[in-house]
A = this chain, B = another copy of it.
Amino acid sequence: MSFRLDKIVVFGVGLIGGSFALALKKAGAVGQVVGIGRSQATLDEALRLGIIDRIGACDAATLGNADLVLLATPVGQMPALMQAMAPHLGPKTVVTDGGSTKGDVAAAVCQHLPQHLSRFVPAHPIAGAENSGAAAAKADLYAERKVVLTPLKENAPEAVERVRAAWAACGATVHEMAPSRHDQVFAAVSHLPHLLSFALVRDLAQRENREEFFRFAASGFRDFTRIAASHPEMWRDICIANKAALLGELEQYQRQLEELRQALLAGDAAALEAVFAEARTVRRAWAEGKLS
């Protein structure tokens, strides 16, 4: 018997939520997709694009008989959404989210959905992009991507299984981690690089003669700063939600930079080359799949 959900509800029909809906539809794994969101224009667009079948509201009619609810908003909005949905969730509805931080989501679930601890399974699809909005959604966004589930100890096994099966139907490979470990790892490999990329573009943007700088920026700059075009509100929320781990990573990186600055100041060519060579070796091994 193949996996199928009769009805799902997606809060936030942008890149993450919209692509989840499209992927499940493409897989024939969902009957009806109902969208909820802050922006009527985005909901209308999602409807027009066939991402959702209808627009719902945060009420019992929409939520009471849903098989799965996905929160796909910036993480800063999730506590208020959980409060709003708490009275309307049906006893069989499983809830998950697509937030890039998990400790804060787990804490919010404990606070705002204490009656639903067995059926809220926090998750993080590793499929960001610098584009956002319903128009950016695509059915194959999650194909061969990773999704990390960070189940709560109170989660019912069948709830975890439903979320896992939904992501598998989207083409993703599903991993499990503890929320705190998740947040530590992603502070290092995702949140910090975003911060660094934003900082570089902002640094240049504030130059008086910035046009001359940007005129000669080439492919290295283009790739380094692609993520600096990411969604400001989403990344603001991620930074605040994962503040402790991100601060630790940022401070370690600052020490790393200071070490490089000292080597540069001293004209220590050998020290610089050793750092670059180590980075190149490891970066190449990673790209060749030899590190992970």
**Interface pair A205/B279, CB less than 8 Å apart:** yes
**Interface pair B148/A216, CB less than 8 Å apart:** yes
Copies of this chain, complex-wide, total: 2
CA distance in complex: A203, B92 (Å): 45
Which residues in chain A, 212-267, are within 8 Å of chain B measured between CB atoms? 212-233, 235-237, 239-240, 243, 246-247, 250-254, 256-258, 260-261, 264-265, 267
Which residues in chain A, 119-152, are within 8 Å of chain B measured between CB atoms? 126-129, 145-146, 148
A269 to chain B, nearest CB (A): 5
Residue of B nearest to A233 (CB): B273
Does A81 make an interface contact (CB < 8 A)?
A: no
| Residue interface bits A107-129, CB-to-B below 8 A is 1, else 0 | 00000000000000000001111
Pairs A-B, 5 closest by C-beta atoms: A215-B292, A232-B276, A201-B279, A236-B273, A205-B282
Residue of B nearest to A146 (CB): B216
Q: Which of A211, A216, A277, A278 has the most CB of B within 10 A?
A: A216
Which residues in chain A, 147-205, are within 8 Å of chain B measured between CB atoms? 148, 175, 185-186, 188-190, 192-205
**Residues of chain B contacted by A198 (CB below 8 angstroms):** 260, 275-276, 279-280
**Interface pair A275/B202, CB less than 8 Å apart:** yes
Of the candidates B145, B202, B227, which one forms a contact with A278 in the assembled complex, judged by CB atoms under 8 Å apart?
B202
Interface stretch (choices A3-11, A40-48, A53-61, A283-291):
A283-291
Write the residues of chain A forming the contact surface with B, with a CB cutoff of 8 angstroms.
76, 126-129, 145-146, 148, 175, 185-186, 188-190, 192-205, 207, 210-233, 235-237, 239-240, 243, 246-247, 250-254, 256-258, 260-261, 264-265, 267, 269, 272-273, 275-280, 282-284, 286-287, 291-292
Q: Tell me whether A283 and B201 are in contact in the complex, defined as CB-CB below 8 angstroms, given that A146-B218, A211-B292, A257-B254 are known contacts.
A: yes
CA distance in complex: A273, B251 (Å): 20
